[in-house]
Structures are given as C-alpha cells and as structure tokens.
Amino acid sequence: MGGETPKQFLPIAGVPLLLHALRPFLSHPAVARVVVALPAAVIASPPEWLAPLLGERLRAVAGGAQRMDSVEAGLNALPPECAIVLVHDGARPFPDPRVIDLIIGEARRGAGAVAAVPVTDTLKEAERRTFGARQRIARTLPRDGLWRAQTPQGFPRSMLEAAYADARSLEVNATDCAALVERIGGEVVLIPDAATNLKVTTPGDLLLARAVVEAGG
C-alpha cells in the first residue's frame, strides 16, 4: 500500500478494515475465541479502537515473518477446548456469515473447508524465460473446475496442527492452510463464496472495498 498506516487499519466507511473483518466472527454464536496476529509494536500500543475490544474473547498475538508463523501463533493461543479452527485474512473485510456457518459445519464433520469463487477469467501462463513488463504467453490454461481460494478456511484443529507439523518437519512453506492439509491427505471441500469477499492488497482494492460498503454489500 505504501504510507505509514498498516493497510489493515485503513478506514472503510469510517471503520478500520481489520474491524470489518473481525466483526462477523466476534458476533457469531459458534465462535468462542478470536485471535488476531499483529506486529509486536502494535500489541504494545494498540490503536484506540482496538484496545477496548481486547480481552478473553479477542486476543492479540505477535505475528511472524511468514503467514505460517502467524497462523501457528494464533493456534498456540487458543484454549484446548477449541476443537474447530477458522483462519481468515485480516485484509478481507467482508466475510459472509452464511459462508462461516457452512465452513464450521464441514469442519465439525471432520473435513477442511475453503471459501472460494469459480475462476471466470481466461488464464494465461507466461514463459518462464521472459522477464520484465513484456511477458510472452506460453499457453492458455483451461479454467474448467478451477476455483480461486479465499478465506475463511476451517478445519478440525487436530487436522490443521498435523498439517503444520508435517510441513515444519519437511521445511515446506505455504501461503494457504488448505494446501498443507491437502499434502497430508486431508479432505478439503470448496464453499462457494462471493467476489465481494475481496482481499485488500492495493489502493485499487481499497477503492473497491469502499464501493462495496457504499452499495450496501
């Protein structure tokens, strides 16, 4: 994003992006604990809108250099009785409560579940030997059966912990929890989601997020 303010704290319709992402989980009757991974400096001096929310229900832990590090920090902060775990990107401000319900249901029956949307664009693979802005197309990929993974993702806690232990033992790094569960043979299903559950990565994404709020989405 650039700028001094972390993107998760940027306002969307006057509400910090991260708070938009947290509210559907904090208000969900089946969610007992919420753990948010943040830089250690932020935890030492949390913003004024976050500090009053921190307590037994919502806890902040120091994140790590990689996504896996932050997820593990969150896992370690959960009490033993939490048998189902959801993982969500703090930069996705609009998780759908109905999707959360479906993901929890799949995890309760012993499967992993991923919020996802079908790929609708034509996919092109660039030649690996090309560099810079001028990329030559190597081939067009069929999009049938392809989905774009989003979050939340949900799993039985034991399944997710086993996947992380396996990845650590083999020094595997991944930016997607489901990919680690798939590696150990765990069942993972797709839960159809909406494209409005976007991840804010660029200034353009922030504009889209603000438009979603203005449209009542």
Q: How far apart are CA 60 and CA 133, in angstroms?
A: 40
Please give the pLDDT value at position 135.
84
In a domain, 40, yes or no: yes
Q: How far apart are CA 199 and CA 192, in angstroms?
A: 16
Residues sharing a CB contact under 8 Å with residue 133, sequence separation 6 or more, in sequence order: none
In a domain, 1, yes or no: no
| β-pair partners for 116 | 149, 192
Percent of the chain residues topping a pLDDT of 90: 89
Residue 149 has pLDDT above 70, yes or no: yes
In a domain, 185, yes or no: yes
In a domain, 41, yes or no: yes
In a domain, 155, yes or no: yes
Residue 110 has pLDDT above 70, yes or no: yes
In a domain, 120, yes or no: yes
Residues sharing a CB contact under 8 Å with residue 164, sequence separation 6 or more, in sequence order: 68, 71, 72, 75, 180
Domain that holds residue 144: 7-214
Please give the pLDDT value at position 48.
94
In a domain, 145, yes or no: yes
Q: How far apart are CA 62 and CA 44, in angstroms?
A: 10
In a domain, 188, yes or no: yes
Q: Say which CATH number the domain at 28 has.
A: 3.90.550.10
The structural domain count of the chain equals 1
- Residue whose tokens read 């998780």: 95
pLDDT confidence tier of residue 130, bands split at 50, 70 and 90:
low
Could you give the 3-state DSSP secondary structure of residue 62? strand
Do the Cβ atoms of 103 and 49 come closer than 8 Å? no
The predicted model gives 186-208 an average pLDDT of: 95
Q: Over the stretch 5-20, which tens digit does the pLDDT of each residue have?
A: 888 999 999 999 999 9
Query: What's the whole-model pTM score?
Result: 0.92
- Residue whose tokens read 């092109």: 124
Please give the pLDDT value at position 217.
67
Please give the pLDDT value at position 55.
94
